[in-house]
Structure 1
Amino acid sequence: MRDPQAEPSDLIRSVSRALRVLEAVGQSERGLTVKQVARRCQLTVATTYHLVRTLAYEGYVIRREDGTYVVGLEVADRFRELVVAFRGPAVVTETLRRAAAETGYSHQLARFVGNRPTITAVAEGPRSPYVDDLIPGFDDGAHALAMGKALLATLSAEQRARFLKESGMPAYTPQTITSGEAFEADLAAGERRGMQIEINQYRNGLACAAVLAVNDRDPERRVVLQCALPAGELMTSARIVRTRLLSTAANLADALKD
């Protein structure tokens, strides 16, 4: 949700409106007509028509035969560029892939992007439960995922409280931590353990473990390594998981020095 208080004085309204139109079209599974877009974006039909025509010309939306508009392929191109920018040096990708191949577990890198814990690179492992959310660009559920906990643990208690208040703590499962006090206790336990974990907090049957790979005074340069595995396996193999994560994190730290 946009903060009206943070609106820049030089905001270009037409650009803002075009992005709202693109968001509305992207959120619709069946596509939208110009009138439907106008209603959802609270714009006039005439204004919406010109915005949609421009977005269609640029390839960001596509007009179908029934008159509805859907997201265009240019959006996919921008997403691929984002993934490449997030991924970093090729050695980072190879390190993640090697860890996934050796353990069978999916591995993810995460860092703060716009003050939000965000997954920036992924290597899938065949033994991990498949979760379609955990892809580059995913920035939800920080309180319920180990990568979010590991990044939030680098902030002050006041900064964490502010983040959790703004983002909320929705219950993804009955095991999700939904109070700030319980969250602080969970982070403290992770610090003592030397590894932040979650078991069945984001998805039933899923567990995640995470360690800090790169620490830095600049929050945006802090990097966390997470692996996802079946919940039962983390409960029986936590020490092995931690040892492997720390080893991989050290390799990543070397690759990311520059």
Structure 2
Amino acid sequence: MTVRRAENTLEILEYFARRLSPATAAEIAEELGWPRSSTFKLVGTMAAKGYLYEPRPRGGYYPSPRWLDLAERVTRSDPVPNELHAFVRTLVRETGETSLIAAMAGDQAIFLDVQESSQPVRYTTSIGSQVPIYASSAGRALMAQMSRDERQRLYRRLTFETFSPTTPDSAEAVEAELAAGKERGFHQSNAEYTPDLAGVSLPLPYRGQRLSAVVVGPVSRCLDRRSAIAAIIAKQIAMLDHLQE
């Protein structure tokens, strides 16, 4: 469930990230397809709070440096330190496929760091993207770090949507996938959420955080390489300095 006002605020920031120039409230409303009255109120509120300003009189609004100030302060306490950024870059280099770190965000797995493959055909995604926690190797490597009671509470609030014939569609099916992952030593996926993609993931319990290390690529390249990719991920995890701190 999303809160529409909060969602709209974030959409305005994303809008300016695409536009890269000032815009009036009327332009924002037109381009985003929003009612003019509510758009004017939201833009006025953001300006009053110091998050938007007018670079030139009547020349439209633009995000103020306050966003950057807040972002820099948050980044100084980044839960994804340089060691993990380097870890993801190494995975890309060693596997040749898009690599990332995921964490839990409600009933989704959210990508905290992404390094795309240089292959012409590759998995393309971005930091902040999310996938269903039950229908992805990234998510199940996170669920594997939960107790059974925690997972049961999670299942009670999940809606098991079927995205493809390989999507686990019930708590029992997810538990079976988790058991299989424990047996083989890694979690895997085959087009269960995104068509034509194969994923490999291992739990990454880093400094008390529940994270997962993930490598994803086209089925044509990755399906038969999943064991080899998992061995590369496991080797790199073992080399992290502060895994259990």
Task: Give your verdict on TM over 0.5.
Answer: yes
Distance 1:80 1:130 in 2: 31
Superposed, which structure 2 residues align to 1:1-258 within 5 Å?
1=1, 19=6, 22-23=9-10, 25=12, 31-32=28-29, 36=35, 48=42, 50-54=44-48, 57-59=50-52, 72=63, 77=68, 86=78, 88-112=80-104, 117-127=109-119, 130-133=122-125, 135-214=126-205, 221-252=209-240, 254-258=241-245
Contact 1:106 1:128 in 2 (8 A): no
SS at match of 2:166: coil
Relative to the length of structure 2, the TM-score reads 0.72
Given the two structures, how large is their TM-score scaled by the length of structure 1? 0.69
- 1:106 partner letter: T
- Name the aligned partner's letter for residue 51 of structure 2: E
* Contact 1:22/1:60, CA 8 A, preserved across alignment: no
The answer (yes or no) to whether the contact 1:60–1:74 under 8 Å persists in 2 is: no
Q: Which runs of 5+ in 1 are unaligned?
A: 4-15
Q: Greater helix percent: which structure? A: 1
**Structure 1 residues 131, 39: closer, same or farther in 2, change over 3 A?**
farther
- Sequence identity percentage: 20
Structure 2 segments unaligned to the other structure (5+ residues)? 19-26
| Pair 54,20 (structure 1): closer, same or farther in 2 beyond 3 Å | farther
Contact 1:152-1:160 within 8 A present in 2 as well: yes
8 A contact 1:100–1:123 mirrored in 2: yes
Q: Deviations over 1:37-82 (max 9, x none)?
A: 6558xxxx7x657414425x4238999x898x8x847697466876
Give the deviation of 1:196 after TM superposition: 0.5
**Aligned-residue RMSD, C-alpha:** 4.0
Corresponding residue of 1:7? none
Rounded to whole Å, the distance in 2 between the matches of 1:105 and 1:157 is 32
